[in-house]
A and B are shown apart, each in its own frame.
Chain A
């Protein structure tokens, strides 16, 4: 048996706990039955209990799996073991939540006994059951994944890290349940058109859920590898990004195909997703200045094997975004977005003659502003207080994107908008030159912080105690 799974089973189960879960759940369901004498009500209650257990309790457990070990001082011991990343990942995820699933199993049993298929629209109990289980697993694995991503920065702030990770897991669970409208995948449509296939809505939702569950477990495995001192690299995130772009493209494909859209139409969704995924990567990943120094040294030495392992996750996806921005700019498809021009027209301080060219260049400008924002994040993280780097960068970017543009418009200084945000109606030259200049300036600042020679630790005491 997986040693990590066995350890968790030892910790999770005791004779009292084995009895407690079925008794507590049985008592609640008995109460519902006595109050309603309705199998549908019992089934509904069982469903509620199940989701409360696997989502609220399960994500909390999953979010704390590693944090509790760090706080308890046992994590170094785990890292010193000879277990592989995969063994450690699934042993922890399933073992750490084993009692949650033991409890949830009674709720599922009650749900099934009370009469599967009674729920409106659920004609296939097998799919409904699979989706229930997959939703719980997905929410818990996202919470675990997030806790690993935050481990380096929030290790000393266990409650905050656990809270953020649990919220991520709950959001994932809510999305899987359809309470968050994140696309056709989770809508209860009778059919879904994805690329040229017509899918049964429920089956498509389940297939999508399983795919994202697989990716979340893959993410856990990749981050666990890093924790266990295996060399990684950004390729897992790049693969997920490509999957997500292809997945999203599947929904717009039928419409674009029917309308005979050009290159811009095909690239728009992947480009927008790539931009978003760069932000996600750059904020989630640890921005360790030492690691960037190693990367620079490896590149300078021509050691490509080491360099690829040290590449930050945001970089390959940024290259995709930049390529998409260039392709969109060259294709000129965005000049057709007349509606946006009409909306922004009153704010624009520029002639309409320039707008067509500006719209054409807008995707490329967005890619440059994206690079500027990444450099802002790196600049703060390479500073004297890296622990506060992300918060400082977030505040700085929030100011640039929200109040400052409003103030500039209020002062009728639209011509200065490109200093803060990408602005489609800016002068074509300004829309590219301004972010380029900002990137150059920030690159110099980042390079300065990157190149600072580390100092020795200050010796606290002159001699050891006798």
Chain B
């Protein structure tokens, strides 16, 4: 799939502090990338650089084919950005907020109202158009802020800690919103240090540590890539299970607990099919055999700080 965001060799200094060091990666279109890392890793600085709000010392950033550093204003038409500490014009109505953003982002007058309505519908706040922004609940404010960010239908959306301060219900709503936007063709980069919420909707993970990208990977694609984590469950206890699994050369990290076995399997889908056939052929009473999706937390923790970025 073609890349829609390209960051190459970006370095950013604050006085006395280097926030980003030679950061390079690309993001595929129509994906949701979780930007994760400890506090102070450079996530917010990176997002602000991609958004064209801060200019890096060195490097190049391209979003949807536009050089952000050379054409920051034009590139804003092709992306939306929601900052961690976003604000709304509390005394304006929801529709006025959206109309203002649509106009400020250069939409022609005749397209502003339809665009505002569409954004409100996408974020399920169309029934609040006449309500003042200052009277909305936190979750609805978040939705309005995201609606403002996508009112011009940008192909790229950047979100910095969007779930911060949201209650569980609003977080579920946010996850659904992001999945829906991805389905509509929007590429999302979302930063957070709350990994459990990111894994609900992220398709990729970008790990930052100490101002560098230390890892970039696809989530849930491990099985296809030949590195599946398999969960196997028997219908009844069978002492032959351990012997059969230990005999398999492609199995790693085997853990058997009662009727359940978990292990990593080095092999593609065909190899997994053959393994399943051998186990069934051996007469084991298999009830379940499935590739597990690894948790974002596990993937993050397994990443070594020394590992270099995978572009």
Contacts and interface: CB of A to CB of B under 8 A. Distances in A.
Interface of A: 3-4, 6-7, 10-11, 69, 72-84, 228-230, 288-290, 293-294, 297, 382, 384, 386, 452-466
Contact of B104 (A82, A460, A465): A82
Contact of B105 (A72, A82, A229): A82
Interface string B42-57: 1000000001110101
B196 A466 contact: yes
B239 interface: no
Given A82-B74, A82-B105, A456-B211, 16 more contacts: A3-B104, A6-B103, A7-B100, A74-B86, A80-B51, A80-B81, A81-B105, A228-B73, A454-B14, A454-B18, A456-B18, A457-B42, A463-B300, A464-B195, A466-B195, A466-B196
B13 interface: yes
A293 B13 contact: yes
Interface residues of B, number: 55
A69 B301 CA distance: 39
A289 B42 CA distance: 19
B38 A459 contact: yes
A290 B54 CA distance: 12
B131 interface: no
Contacts of A84: 73
B209 interface: yes
Contact of B38 (A74, A290, A463): A463
A344 B149 CA distance: 67
Report the 5 A-B pairs with minimum CB-CB distance, sorted nearest first: A73-B87, A464-B193, A3-B103, A81-B104, A460-B39
A289 B39 CA distance: 24
Contacts of B210: 456-457, 459
A290 B83 contact: no
A135 B39 CA distance: 50
B194 interface: yes
Interface string B144-160: 00001000000000000
Nearest to A457: B40
B238 to A, nearest CB: 35
Interface in B109-168: 148
A76 B81 contact: yes
A74 B195 contact: no
A74 B148 CA distance: 11
Identify which of A80, A290, A453, A461 gathers the most chain B CB atoms within 10 Å of its CB: A80
8 contacts: A77-B148, A297-B57, A457-B42, A464-B36, A464-B37, A464-B192, A464-B193, A466-B196
A79 B53 contact: yes
A86 B297 CA distance: 48
Identify which of B21, B96, B104 gathers the most chain A CB atoms within 10 Å of its CB: B104
B40 A458 contact: yes
A75 B104 CA distance: 13
Given A6-B100, A76-B83, A460 B38 contact: yes
B300 A11 contact: no
A294 B104 contact: no
B251 interface: no
